[in-house]
């Protein structure tokens, strides 16, 4: 039963991360007044981008290539966004959906890397990559400034989620507790950054010229 619980919580984090990142990609496309095909493409690459890079780096089969339901889920999410009234998706929904995906996917990426024998520190980096790359790809495709190129707290939130997950597991907490706590902390930090525009200090080197 504990093994089943562990597998279930990790799988749920995976699906949540993919789903909300797909949602954020579709939202970006419709805000740019793109076609359904483009919205579906945005949803797919945003949903699976970080996980694909992670799998390539750790030597695992790229997950969505072997699971047809993943691509189908991303396309369905894009269709729902595209056919529903725009007022449903106004405000900061894109930012909050991205925050959920960032936190959940960072923890899942770390857990998967550890399961494939990756040491803790590189596994933490795999969590950050899993949580951040999909949104970066979305922004690049949309031609908007990527969040990781701004001082606003983003990558730090993914690192917090992954790091707390690893720390709690090292302290003996079960996977469900460590996963929920890590994802919750990462989401809270990113949410605070959205709400109060929290940012890290930017580099202030000597001026030239």
Reported as a pLDDT band with limits 50, 70 and 90, residue 203 is confident
In this prediction, residues 18-38 reach a mean pLDDT of 94
Residues pairing with 4 in the sheet: none
CA gap 209, 207 in Å, rounded = 7
Contact 13/104 with Cβ under 8 angstroms?
Answer: yes
In this prediction, residues 190-209 reach a mean pLDDT of 84
Res 1: pLDDT:
41
| Phi, psi angles (nearest 5°) of residue 85 | -60, 140
pLDDT tens by residue, 35-50: 999 999 999 999 999 9
pLDDT tens by residue, 98-128: 899 899 999 999 999 999 999 999 999 999 9
**84, two tokens:** 């529903």
CA gap 154, 49 in Å, rounded = 17
Q: Where are the domains of the chain?
A: 2-196
Res 109: pLDDT:
95
Res 4: pLDDT:
47
Res 2: pLDDT:
53
Kindly give, in sequence order, each residue whose CB lies less than 8 Å from that of residue 70, ignoring residues fewer than 6 positions away. 18, 47, 48, 63, 64
Q: Please identify which residue in the block is written with the tokens 């024998």.
A: 117
Which of 190, 53, 197 has the alpha carbon at shortest distance from 113? 53
CA gap 175, 181 in Å, rounded = 10
The model's pTM:
0.90
Res 148: pLDDT:
84
Which of 16, 131, 132, 109 has the alpha carbon at shortest distance from 58? 109
Res 73: pLDDT:
94
């Amino acid at each position: 039963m504990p093994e089943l619980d562990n597998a279930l919580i990790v799988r749920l984090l995976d699906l949540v991360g993919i789903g909300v990142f797909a949602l954020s990609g579709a939202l970006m496309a419709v805000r740019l007044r793109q076609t359904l095909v483009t919205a579906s493409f945005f949803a797919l690459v945003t949903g699976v981008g970080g996980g694909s890079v992670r799998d390539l780096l750790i030597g695992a089969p790229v997950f969505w290539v072997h699971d047809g339901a993943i691509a189908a889920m991303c396309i369905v999410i894009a269709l729902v966004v595209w056919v529903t009234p725009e007022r449903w998706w106004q405000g900061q929904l894109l930012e909050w959906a991205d925050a959920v995906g960032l936190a959940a996917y960072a923890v899942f990426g770390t857990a998967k890397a550890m399961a494939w024998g990756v040491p803790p520190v590189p596994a933490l980096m795999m969590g950050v990559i899993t949580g951040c790359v999909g949104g970066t790809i979305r922004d690049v495709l949309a031609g908007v400034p990527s969040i990781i190129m701004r001082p606003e707290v983003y990558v730090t939130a993914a690192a917090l989620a992954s790091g707390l997950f690893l720390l709690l597991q090292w302290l003996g907490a079960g996977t469900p507790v460590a996963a929920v706590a890590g994802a919750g902390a990462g989401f809270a930090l990113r949410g605070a950054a959205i709400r109060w525009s929290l940012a890290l200090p930017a580099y202030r080197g000597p001026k030239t010229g």
